[in-house]
Amino acid sequence: MPENKIKITPAKGRPMLHWVGKKPLEYVKGFPTQLMEIYDPLNNAKIHEIPSYENLKDNWHNLLFHGDNKDVLATLLEKGFRGKIDLIYIDPPFSSNKDYVRKVELRGLKSLGKIEDDDASVLQQVMYEDLWKRDEYFQFMYERLMLLKELLANTGSIYVHLDWHVGHYIKLIMDEIFGQENFRNEIIWWYPGGLKAVPKFFPRKHDAILFYTKTGDYTFNTQRRAPEESSLWERWKEYSRDGRTVLYKDFPKSDKVKLEDYTKRFIARYGREPGPDDVIYEFEGPIVDSVWYDCPQVFRLLNEKVGFETQKPEALLERIIKASSNPRDLVLDCFIGSGTTARVAQKLGRRWIGCDINKGAIHLASRELQKIINEQVKKNETKYPTFAVYKVNDYDLKLLRTEAIELAVQHIGIQRTRTDSFFDGTLGKNLVKIIDFNHPLTLLDLQLIQDELRKRPDEDRDITVVCLGKELAVDPWIDDWNKKHPVNKIHVIELKTDKKYGSFLIHKPAEAKVKIERIDKTTAKAA
């Protein structure tokens, strides 16, 4: 079976930024998806073990992926999502050289005193590290932006949220990938708040959001600020009964020129004279420009805070999603963090896909999404009440054998042979045996293969053994076996190290940086 490699379109834009180790993606390979969790409050969704676009297009449920976003994006390409994403927003690491933490309350510690931080017992859990060598960061972003372009629809848009650390570099990379002609805006998000004096430079009070499109034909809906910001609102608000509109009978008759102008517009639109209770004028706020000063940071929004340090306000995402997508469009955020993009997309009736490498972020996003969906279901306000959580290339090692087999079959391209009681399938002309991922390939496993072959004297095919790892004694045993057997030679695919199939299983033990101090209540000093 030929290896399923997905070709990536070369970046052809100018200008170009160069760095040590720059290498464009030419091909990527997707990984199997492992279904971990389903949230289906109405209990009527059809959940797919393999979330392909073909499976989902007529029976959609939203998708939340736990894994490295490069692997997830490659998997989405492999599963038919190329050109299907209408809007992408990402808030990637800023290469800021600091760790970001989440505060977690420790249960059962009230009797043991408190860690003095916001008057609660807390554990600071590292959510992600933003510590990079500059060249590595460029390559990291380059690869992911290339994959995102492949997924973006021709009418789609991408917003990349950055700050002063690397925003100017990433703009050059985006010019190369998306084309300078598809650059639309550098949006300045200015966040109000108290200023602290800093030595020898002006306090930094804004982020930059780079807005690009795939082509010149793209979705865009003009956004306006609140009607109260209209230049005419103060002048005519006394004639408005709701603060937004003015009825024909209430319009100031002294302003004959305006009244005549709006009457002509009403007749042209409706084909009749306005009646006394018809709306003759509606206040419009000013058009939103590229400086956004009305989206306060989350620390000022107590109803939104979920304990994620780099969380962005919902108002910011609401403006982006309303501007560059329509209801039922598909929104992607592959640095989902606290889940703001998915939450706002859910509220606005968009379909969404989220991804994060951090397990804590996935749990946090899932929890907050469930709250929103529960409220929507009560009010019958959502077409998309279901989402599923999948793992990609960060699978649990304690798997059921059937799960392990299916993951390996998908990844390697094995043809299943369900009528065979011993071998799991074929790969080309070879028989395939998949070893339980909960232990390495051992001499006992090889002995079992040898015993099975003795029962099949006419079997002349070679054997491919798929395993996660192997004991040291295995290689000499196989070398000796292969020298003595012109048929039934044994070949091993070790999924941890195999160059062809990549690092199939990545397992990192949970870790946290913890600092605990016991407070002496009598002296209020750390003991």
Q: Buried (b) or exposed (e) across 143-155, using 16+ Cβ within 10 A?
A: bbbbbbbbbbbeb
pLDDT of residue 154: 97
Predicted TM-score (pTM) of this structure:
0.75
Contact (CB, 8 A) for 339 and 365? yes
Nearest to 78 by CA among 49, 48, 47, 52: 52
Element (H, E) at 522: none
Average pLDDT, the chain: 85
Strand ranges for 163-311 from DSSP E: 183-190, 206-213, 245-247, 279-282, 291-292
Q: pLDDT digit string (tens) for 254-296? A: 889 999 999 999 999 999 999 999 999 888 888 999 999 988 8
* Range of lowest pLDDT (196-205, 265-274, 344-353): 196-205
Q: CB within 8 A of 326, min separation 6: which ones?
A: 86, 219, 221
| pLDDT-wise least confident of 207-221, 293-307, 355-369, 501-515 | 501-515
Out of 96-105, 363-372, 374-383, which region has the weakest mean confidence (pLDDT)? Answer: 96-105
CATH among 3.40.630.30, 3.90.1150.10, 3.40.50.150, 3.40.640.10 for 6-95+131-218+290-392: 3.40.50.150
Q: Return the domain boundaries, the chain.
A: 6-95+131-218+290-392, 227-282, 401-494
Would you call 294 helix, strand, or coil by DSSP?
Answer: coil
Task: Identify the DSSP state of 228.
Answer: G
Please write the tens of the pLDDT for every residue from 204-221: 889 999 999 999 999 999
Over the stretch 2-43, which tens digit does the pLDDT of each residue have?
Answer: 457 899 999 888 778 999 989 999 988 888 898 999 999 999
Distance CA 156, CA 214 (A): 6
Gap between the Cα atoms of 359 and 365, Å rounded = 10
CA-to-CA distance for 441 and 181, rounded, in angstroms?
Answer: 54
Instruction: Identify the sign of the CA torsion 62, 67, 73, 78.
Output: negative
Q: Phi and psi of 121, rounded to 5°?
A: -80, 115
Q: What pLDDT score does 515 carry?
A: 64
| Sequence-ordered strand ranges (E) for 3-105 | 6-7, 27-28, 33-39, 62-66, 85-90, 98-105
pLDDT in tens, 315-337: 999 999 999 999 999 999 999 99
Res. 437: pLDDT tops 60: yes
Distance of CA 505 to the CA centre of its chain: 20
